[in-house]
Amino acid sequence: MPVQNDKQHQVSRRELLAELRRSEAQYKSTIDSMT
């Protein structure tokens, strides 16, 4: 059980990182279009 839980945690963390990077890129493109 704990191993499966840890694996699930890793996946969610990777998804969170991908989401963060995606929103960061979106933020940068928004700034570029503003200036």
Structural domain boundaries enclosing 11 = 1-35
Measure the CA dihedral 22/27/30/32, to 10°. -100
Q: What is the pLDDT of residue 8?
A: 67
- How far is it, in rounded angstroms, from Cα 19 to Cα 14? 9
Q: What is the pLDDT of residue 16?
A: 93
Using the Cα atoms of residue 20, residue 22, residue 32 and residue 30 in order, give the sign of their dihedral: negative
- pTM, two decimal places: 0.54
Using the Cα atoms of residue 10, residue 11, residue 16 and residue 20 in order, give the sign of their dihedral: positive
Using the Cα atoms of residue 27, residue 28, residue 29 and residue 33 in order, give the sign of their dihedral: positive
Output the six-digit token pair for 14.
């990777």
Q: What is the pLDDT of residue 21?
A: 97
Domain count, the chain: 1
Q: What is the pLDDT of residue 12?
A: 87
Q: What is the pLDDT of residue 23?
A: 97
Tell me the per-residue pLDDT of 1-35, one tens digit each, with 9 for 90 and over. Answer: 556 666 666 778 899 999 999 999 999 999 999 87
Q: What is the pLDDT of residue 3?
A: 64
